[in-house]
Amino acid sequence: MPHRLLASWQRSEDYGVPVETVQPVFTGAYDEQSLFFECGQQVLGELARNLADEPISLMLTDADGLVLNRFSGDHALLRALDAVHLAPGFSYAEREAGTNGLGLALADRVPTVVRAEQHYALSLCSYTCAAVPVLDPVTGRLEGAVNLTTWSQASSDLLLALAHSAASTTSALMLSRASGRTARPAPRGEVFRVEVPRLEPGAGTLRELSQPWTAALHRAEDAVAAGRVVAAVGERGTGRATLLAQAERRHRPASRILAASAPAPADVEAWLDLWTPEVGKPHTAVVVRRVDELPVWAAQRLRDLVTEVPLAVTAERFEDIPAPLAGLVDAVVQVPALRERAEDVVALARHAAMRVRGREIDIDPSAAHALEQHHWPGNVSELVEVVRAAAGHTDRIEVRHLPAELLTGSRRRLSRIEAFERDEIVRVLTRPGVTMRDAAEELGMSRATLYRKVAHLELRVPR
């Protein structure tokens, strides 16, 4: 078996992916207004019309392996793909579904074919998949992948070529439509997520962290073991839901954990409808994120739905939890902010980078120091976004890959001119081997002026 496939199988085993059958994560919301989705939908739709009589399914996925759409004229193939959840709304990332064509293409950032028995899960051995990553033609950012799937006994010689063609056409169409395009709206947010009954090292189950985090985790574990309803409170992005899920998993290692985030107001009715068929299943625990955003009427209905299952919730403050749910809470655990546990920053950064690339990503000492010194007002969520952006472009994260604001000591709001100057100074000073003299010459100022600006902006640029 090729080295890349062996490495993927090893990662799949480390993630805890079951060998017998795939159990992918379901997410009920994704961004249908992105340029990538718009262009990919058009390209695959046209290609599907030309392949209407062929046993091939064409799919578009986002950068996290979430299936966004699916085209095929073969109804038998579609029914078979439904049985293994290779359908819109399900994530087929490597950490969720093991070695498969689209998951490996996204993990390695290269075109990939995975045939029959090369799949990690036995339930996928009936298929052959070819996938090609699609990069934003302007920024170079990974947007997702084009995936073509057929039966394993069918010829796959042209499968990768077709995927290549569709990915290239999508990228070209994105480039032609990119100019003058307004910023896309933020996604509506995750509506529903099912975490399958296994430990997921690739999905947030870090064990060895600092004493403040460990102490909070132990308090949550004790409450769960005592059968209490736990509320994890604290700033957004601190890992409140992760802490609760870890506590549930340690106490109930064989249970499913249903984790849901409070939806947009327009989605509340649909969100509530998703609960009924799920909470009745055995060995199920529920974590509801950000319940302080739920209207009281929705909290009342949710309380009635989850009375028979182990429940945990998150909020910024206990006082803001709607009364119908607050009345159920028996224990409150305060989750410390990331700035209160700086020793966790690099470990979390390495973990986030591995989730992006599917392998260890090096963080050089200067970059690690810069990460540790930042205040992280957005907590772990902000750290993950910074690392995702950096790891998407390099196998070794250096200071020059980090955003300039991470190197600014001052927390005051900068003017547009000051922000531009800061970004240019950081861009030049973080290049390997650049001296202050070199930087001053390139920036068109004296060394004395450069030193003054560095001091005024309170820049911390590791040398």
Show the domain range for 218. Answer: 193-336
- Which pLDDT band, with edges at 50, 70 and 90, does 103 fall under? very high
Percent of the chain's residues with pLDDT above 90: 39
Same domain, 118 and 201: no
Same domain, 327 and 246: yes
181 has a pLDDT exceeding 80 = no
Same domain, 49 and 145: yes
Q: Is residue 218 part of a domain?
A: yes
> What does the pLDDT read at residue 193?
43
Same domain, 331 and 377: no
Same domain, 13 and 101: yes
pLDDT in tens, 70-95: 999 999 999 999 989 998 888 899 88
> What does the pLDDT read at residue 312?
93
pLDDT in tens, 114-172: 999 999 999 999 999 999 999 988 888 889 999 999 998 766 668 989 999 999 999 99
- Which pLDDT band, with edges at 50, 70 and 90, does 457 fall under? confident
Average pLDDT over residues 454-459: 78
Q: What residue has token string 């055995």?
A: 282
> What does the pLDDT read at residue 183?
43
- Which pLDDT band, with edges at 50, 70 and 90, does 189 fall under? very low
For the ranges 55-64, 82-91, 239-248, 434-443, the lowest mean pLDDT is seen at 434-443
- Any idea what the CATH number is for the domain that residue 302 is in? 3.40.50.300
Average pLDDT over residues 262-275: 77
On whether the CB atoms of residues 440 and 429 are closer than 8 A, the answer is: no
291 has a pLDDT exceeding 60 = yes
pLDDT in tens, 313-333: 999 999 999 999 999 999 999
Same domain, 152 and 16: yes
On whether the CB atoms of residues 57 and 74 are closer than 8 A, the answer is: yes
Same domain, 85 and 153: yes
DSSP letters spanning 269-306:
HHHHHTHHHHHTSSSEEEEEE-GGGS-HHHHHHHHHHS
Same domain, 134 and 240: no
On whether the CB atoms of residues 233 and 299 are closer than 8 A, the answer is: no
Q: Average pLDDT, whole number, for the chain? A: 84
Q: What residue has token string 């020793």?
A: 343
Which residues, in sequence order, are CB contacts of 79 under 8 Å at separation 6+? none
Q: How many CA atoms lie within 13 A of 82 on its CB side?
A: 8
54 has a pLDDT exceeding 50 = yes
234 has a pLDDT exceeding 90 = yes
Same domain, 346 and 330: no
Q: How many CA atoms lie within 13 A of 216 on its CB side?
A: 27
- pTM score above 0.85: no
